[in-house]
Structure 1
Amino acid sequence: MTFLRIHLAYKNIQRLRQIITILIKHGFYPIIERIHLTKLISIPQRIVGKKATIEQEALSLAVRTRLAFEELGPTFIKFGQILSTRPDILPEEFIKEFLKLQDEVPSFAFQDVVKVVEQEFKKSVKELLREIEEKPVAAASIAQVHKAVTMDGKDVVIKVQRPDIEAIIDNDISILQYLAKLIVKYIPESRSYDPVGMVEEFGGIIKKEMDFTLEASYTERFRKNHSDDPRVLIPAVYWNLTGKKVLTLERIIGIKIDNIEKLRESGIDTEKISHIVAEVLFRQVFEFGVFHGDLHSGNIFVTGPEQIAFVDFGIVGRLDREMQENLADIFVGLVSEDYELLTRVYLRMGILPEDIDEATFKREYQDMLFSYFGKPFKRTSVGELLMSYIRLASRYRIRMPRELLLLDKCILELEGLGRLLHPDVNVLVESQQFARRLIAKRFGPAAMMKDAVDTVMEYRTFTKALPVQISQILKKMMSDKFTIDFVHRGLEDLMGEMDRSSNRLTFAIIVAALIIGSSLVIAFDSGPKLFGYPFLGILGFVVAGVLGLWLAFLILRSGKF
C-alpha cells in the first residue's frame, strides 16, 4: 500500500511539472513564482519562463489561459467549459474565450473500445452487436462515438468512455485543488473568485458526466416529455447495451443546425427551424422544468422540413417551481418594461448579503434596464441582459442559483443560433406564450388549492416537530450537554501572521542565546582552542551568524519589515 501511495505521489509530481511547464510557456511564470512552485523546475526553465512572459504580453490573459487549457488536455478543457457558465465569478473576456474551447481530441484505439465494452457487459462484442465501425464518428475528452448495428438489425451509435479516463481526471482534479489552495494562500486578491470552490464544483459536475446511466436517464426523460411534439426527435436509449461507461442510442440522421448552406440546399426553411428551437427550449424551461444545458450546434440536428433532434444530455439544467415562476415574471417584465417587477424578482431570486445597500442596487439595476429598453427590438439580447445582471449582482455579493447561470449560457447560445438561422427572430417574443401560460396557471384554482394544502401540511409538520425539539433542548440543558459554538470568521490570515511572527521571534531568541553563550565561553577562555580562542565560542558565533543571516533573508524576502 505504501508503494502504491509513493507511485501515485510520483505521478502527481510528474503531471504537476508538466502543467507548470505548459503554463510557463504561455506566460504564467510570474504566477508560478508567486505561488512558490518554481522549485519544481530547473534554472534554464525559469530563464525561458521569464522570456516567455515578455513574449506573451501581446496576448490578453484570457486568451493565454484558453490556449494553456487547450494544451493541458481533456480535464482542463472541461474545466474551462464549466467556467464559461460562471459570469458571476469571471470577467466577460474570460467567459468569451472559454466558450471557444472545443472538446475535440484524437481518438483512441479500436481495441480499447472493444475492451471497455466487453468489460462493461462481461460479454464479447460479437455477442452484443452485429457490427461496429472501427472509425469513430466523433471523439471527445471523455468518450468517443461509433456507429453500430444491434443483433436485431437496429442502427445505433455507441458512446464508449476512454480507458482510464476516470483515474486521469481524478489525478488532474487533485492537482487543481492543490494549485487552487496555493493561489488562495499566496495571491490574496484571487479569493473573490473562489478558486477552491470552482474546482470543487467542477469535480462534482465532471463525475456526474462520467456516469452514462445518468445521461441515459435524462435522455429517456426528454424523449418522454417531447413525445407529443412531432417536431422534436430525441434518440431512444438501448438499456440492454447501456452501462456506466457505455451508452447506446438510436442513430439520428440529419444536418447540423449551423450548416446553413446544406439546409438551404435541402429546401429547409431556416426561419421555421429557428422558431422551433426557441419554442422547444422555453417549453423545457417553463413547462417541464428540465432543459438541455449544452445547446451548441454539434448537439442539434435538422432531421426534416420542420423537425429537429437533440443529442448529448450530459449537461442538464433543473428548475424547481419557484424558479420557473420567477423566470416567467422576468420574461414578461422584460416585454412589458416593468422595472419594479424585474427588480423585485431579481432580489427575491438571489441570496442577499446582510449589509447590501438595496436602494443603490435597485438604482443601478434600473439604469441598466433603461439602457436595454432604449435599443431597437432587433438589437436587444436577452442573454446579454441576464449576463449584465449577474455581473451586477456579483459586485453586490448576491449569490445567484447555478441553474440561472446555466440557462443564461443556453440563451446566449440560442441567440447565436437564431442570428445564424434568421436574424429577425427574437428570443424574448418566443418566450412569451410559455411564460404567460405559466403565470396564468399559477393563479388557477388547482394551483391555489395545491398551495393551500402545502401550507397546511407545512404547519402540521411544524406543530408536530416543535414540542419534540423543545423537549430535546431542555433535556440537554438539564444534563449540562447544551453547548453554543462560536465561529470566528476572517481570522485565518491573522493567525497565520501570528504563527510566522512567533516563529521568527523564537528564531531570534535562539540566535541571541547563541551569541550570549559564545561570548561567555570566550570570556572564560575555557575548552579546546582554535587560533588561540575557545573553539566552542567560535562555533557558536558562526552558527549564530548563519542563522541570523537566514532570518534577515526571510524577512527581506517577505517584504514585511
Structure 2
Amino acid sequence: MRGPHNILRLIRTGATFERSGAMGVALDALEAPPRLRIAARVLGWPFRWLGYKGDPNLPPVTRAITALGPAYIKFGQILSTRADVVGTELAGQLRMLQDRLPPFPTDQARQIVAAELRQPVDLLFSEFSEPVAAASIAQVHRARVRDSGREVAVKVLRPGIGAAFRRDIDAFHFAASIIEALSPGSRRLRPRDVVSHFESVVTGEQDMRLEAAAASEFAENTRGDANFQVPRPHWPLSGRRILTSDWAEGLPMGDRDALIAAGHDVTHIATRVVQLFLQHALRDGFFHADMHHGNLKVAPNGDVIAYDFGIMGEIDEYTRRIYAEILMGFIKRDYRRVARVHFEAGYVPRDRDEAQFARALRAVGEPIFGADASQISMASLLAYLFEVTERFGMRTQTQLILLQRTMVVVEGVARSVDPQLNIWEAARPVVSDYIRSNLGPKALARDMARVAQTVGRYGPLLPQIVEHALWDRAHPDGVRPPPQPRARVPLWLVALLSLVAGAALGLGLG
C-alpha cells in the first residue's frame, strides 16, 4: 500500500548508508555536488540509529545495499559494471552483488524443487550440489539428471522474494510521487513511469516459466551467431519457481586476469560482447537486458556464453531504426543527423531549436572520438547528457529504458575486459549492416509488401468499405443502407490503400 508509511522506508535507506559508512563513499564515487552532499548528510545523520546494520565484513556500500534488499541490489549490479563512473575499487566491491550474495539453505532449495516438480529430488537428479552462485532473485545449484546423466544448472527462486520486492517498489513509487510533487520539472523524466516499468520487469523475473520461454526464444534467434552460446532450458524439469537448463562451463567474464592467462584475446571478446548486444537489439528486437559480468562466461574455445534470461528487452521495428540512425549519426559524427532523428521521432519537443540541440550533442560526442578510453570520464559525459535532456525538455522514453540501461551495462562489461576498447568502432560494422538492410530500397519493398498483406487480410470487406464510403459521400444526410459489418474509412484512404496494395504486391513479387 502506497502511503506516508513509506517515508520510514526511505529514511531508513539514507540511515543505512550513513550507519554503514557508505554515504561518503557513494557521494565521492559519484562526484556529487556540494549541495547534494549536504542534503544527504542532513537527512541521513539524525536517523542513523534507524539504519540496518548489515554485514560488517563487507565493504561499506556493498554492506548497505545488501542490507536494504533485492530492489537496491538490482541498482548495485548496474553500478558494478561502471568502473568508469564509480571507480575501479567500488565497482570491484559491488561485483559480488552479481552472483556472490549469501545463499539460502540447500535443504530449503531441495524442498522447493520437490514441491514444484512433485517428485523427490533424488529421483530426478543423481547429484545436487550446494549453491554455486546466489543473486538477488535466485540461486543456482549444479546437478546431474538421473535419467540422461546430463549436467545441468538448477535455478531456484528465493523464498519470500515477491514480498520483499513489493515492499521496496512500494517505497520507490511513493518517492517518485513526492519527487514529482516537489519538483514539477522532474515530471519530464516520468519517475513514476520509470518505477512502474522497473516493477513490471522484476515481477516477470520471478516466474521461471517466463524465463524458460525467453531462453528458448533467444536460443532460436541466435543459433546462427558466431562465437555465442545460449544454454537451453529443460522444460520437464522447470516450473514457476525453478528453472533447469544446460550447464555452461567457462571462465567468468569479470575475471580479466584469468581470461588472459587462459590465452583468450580480450579485445576480441570485449568487441564481441558489444556487437552481440547490438545484433540482438537491432536485428531481432529481442535482447538480453541483464548482461552484467555475473550472467556472462567465456567458453574454453573463446565463445561468449550468456545465461539468466529473467530480464529481456523488446523493441519494435520503428524504434530499432530510430536507434540505429542515432548510433550511426554518432559514429559518423553527423550531429545534425542525430538531432534531426530525435526531432522526427518526437523525443525532443518541436518548439526547441534543432541546430542548438545538434551542437549540444556534439559536446557529448566529440570528447569520445580520438581519445584514449582511459581518458574519458563517463561520469562527466553522463552528467552533461542529463543537462542536455533537461535543457531541451526531453521526456523519458519508457520503451527505451531497458535498451539504454543495457547499453550502459554492456559498455561497462566490455571496457572491464579491454579498458582500451573503442565502443564506437566496435559498434560500427553491426550498425552499418543493419542500416544497409533496413533503411534502403529493399527495406521499402518489404514494408510495402507487409502493407499489402495487411490490406489483403481485409480483402473480403473491401467491397463493403468502398460501397459505404461512396454512399456516405453521395448521401451525407440520406437514409443509410441496412447495418452490416463495416469500417468507416474515408474514400481517399480506400483509394490510397488500393494503390499501395497494388504497388506493394508488384514490388513483393518482382
Q: TM-score, normalised by structure 2?
A: 0.70
Letter of the structure 2 residue corresponding to residue 276 of structure 1: R
Residue identity opposite 1:439 in structure 2: I
Residue 46 of structure 2 corresponds to: 50
Indicate if the aligned counterparts of 1:218 and 1:313 stay in contact, CA closer than 8 A: yes
Corresponding residue for residue 266 of structure 1:
262
1:315 counterpart residue number? 311
Aligned match of 2:486: none
Does residue 249 in structure 1 map to residue 240 in structure 2?
A: no
Partner Cα separation in structure 1 for residue 116 and residue 454 of structure 2: 45
Aligned to 1:167: 163
Q: 1:356 to 1:301 in 2, by over 3 A?
A: same
Paired AA for residue 316 in structure 1: M
How far the C-alpha of 1:424 sits from its partner, in A, is 4.2
Offset of residue 385 of structure 1 = 6.4
1:78 lines up with 2:85 in the alignment:
no
Partner AA of 1:411 in structure 2: M
Q: Tell me: CA distance 1:435–1:239, structure 2 relative to 1, closer, same or farther (3 Å).
A: same
1:117-161 per-position Cα deviation (integer Å, ceiling 9, x unaligned): 22222222233322311x201112221111111122110111111
* Unaligned residue ranges in structure 2 (runs of 5+): 20-41, 50-58, 478-510
Are residue 332 (structure 1) and residue 332 (structure 2) matched?
no
**For 1:389 and 1:418, how far apart are their aligned partners in 2?**
21
Aligned-pair CA distance for 1:52:
4.5
Letter of the structure 2 residue corresponding to residue 71 of structure 1: A
Q: Which range is displaced more, 123-132 or 247-256?
A: 123-132
Aligned length in residues: 430
Pair 14,335 (structure 1): closer, same or farther in 2 beyond 3 Å: closer
- CA 1:387–1:447 in structure 2 vs 1: closer, same or farther (change >3 Å)? farther
Distance in 2 of aligned mates of 1:255 and 1:178: 41
Alignment of 1:381-460 (within 5 A): 389=385, 391-402=387-398, 404-443=400-439, 446-455=442-451
**2:118 is aligned with 1:127:** no
Question: Where does structure 1 lack aligned partners over 5 or more consecutive residues?
Answer: 1-7, 29-45, 54-62, 86-91, 476-561
Given candidates 4, 23, 33, the residue that maps to 2:14 is 23
- Helix, strand or coil: the match of 1:159? strand
Q: Distance in 2 between matches of 1:115 and 1:242?
A: 14
Letter in 1 for 2:352: I
Match of 1:138 in 2: 133
Match of 2:142, SS?
strand
Q: Cα RMSD between the aligned structures?
A: 4.4
- Rounded to whole Å, the distance in 2 between the matches of 1:244 and 1:404 is 28
Partner Cα separation in structure 2 for residue 49 and residue 366 of structure 1: 41
1:164/1:449 Cα in 2 relative to 1: closer, same or farther (>3 Å)?
same
Shift of 1:74: 1.6
CA distance in 1, matches of 2:132, 2:455: 56
What amino acid sits opposite 1:137 in the alignment?
Answer: V
1:208 aligns with 2:204: yes
| TM superposition shift of 1:231 | 1.5
Q: C-alpha deviations, 1:364-412, integer Å up to 9, x for none?
A: 3344445555746886699986885465224322235345443344333
Query: Is the Cα–Cα contact under 8 Å of residues 70 and 164 in structure 2 kept in the other structure?
Result: no
- Identity, in percent, stands at 28
Shift of 1:254: 0.7
Q: Is the 8 A contact 1:69 1:80 kept in 2?
A: yes
Counterparts of 1:334 and 1:47 in 2: how far apart (Å)?
Answer: 41
1:262–1:409 distance in 2 versus 1, CA, 3 Å? same
Residues 176-204 of structure 1, C-alpha deviations (whole Å, 9 max, x = no match): 43454455556767656554334322221
CA distance in 1, matches of 2:176, 2:209: 31
Distance 1:309 1:256 in 2: 10
> Would the alpha carbon gap of residues 323 and 131 (structure 1) be closer, same or farther in structure 2, given more than 3 Å must change?
same
Task: Give the aligned partner of residue 107 of structure 1.
Answer: 103
Distance 2:354 2:125 in 1: 62
8 Å contact kept, 2:101–2:134: yes
Q: Which residue of 1 aligns with 2:27?
A: none
Matched letter for residue 311 of structure 1? Y
Tell me, yes or no, if the aligned pair for 1:25 and 1:49 is still in contact at 8 Å: no
In the TM superposition, residue 248 of structure 1 has moved relative to its aligned partner by 0.6
Indicate conservation of the 8 Å contact 2:18/2:44, yes or no: no
**Distance (whole Å) between structure 1 residues aligned to residue 283 and residue 380 of structure 2:** 24
1:343 to 334, 339, 344: 339
| Amino acid aligned to 2:228 | V
Q: Distance in 1 between matches of 2:422 and 2:317?
A: 25
Residue equivalent to 2:484: none
Letter of the aligned partner of 1:207 in structure 2? Answer: T
Distance 1:408 1:77 in 2: 19
Q: Which range is displaced more, 315-324 or 404-413?
A: 404-413
Aligned partner letter, 1:74: P
What is the alpha-carbon distance in structure 2 between the residues aligned to residue 98 and residue 379 of structure 1? 18
- The corresponding residue for 1:150 is 145
Q: Is the 8 A contact 2:372 2:420 kept in 1?
A: no
Please give the alpha-carbon distance, in whole angstroms, between the structure 1 residues aligned to 2:406 and 2:107: 37
Return the offset for 1:230.
Answer: 4.8
Contact 2:339 2:354 in 1 (8 A): no
After TM superposition, give the deviation of residue 77 of structure 1 in Å.
2.5
Contact persistence 2:197–2:398 (CA under 8 A)? no
Secondary structure at the residue paired with 1:117? helix
Displacement of 1:303 in angstroms is 0.8
| Cα distance, 1:175 vs structure 2 | 4.2
Matches of 2:106 and 2:227 in 1, distance apart? 36
* Deviation readout 1:301-345 (Å, 9 max, x if unpaired): 111233121111222222322222223323332333222212112
> Larger relative contact order (C-alpha < 8 A, sep ≥ 6)?
2
Q: Which moved more, 1:201-210 or 1:390-399?
A: 390-399
Structure 1 residues 419 and 250, CA gap change in structure 2 (3 angstroms): same
Partner of 2:22: none
Q: Is the 8 A contact 2:342 2:348 kept in 1?
A: no
Q: Is the 8 A contact 2:126 2:144 kept in 1?
A: yes
Q: Secondary structure at the match of 2:107?
A: helix
C-alpha displacement of 1:240: 0.6
Q: Does 1:290 align with 2:281?
A: no
- Indicate the residue corresponding to 1:231 in structure 2: 227
| Residue 279 of structure 1: aligned partner | 275
Secondary structure of the equivalent of 2:257? helix
1:218 has 2:214 as partner: yes
| Aligned residue number for residue 522 of structure 1 | none
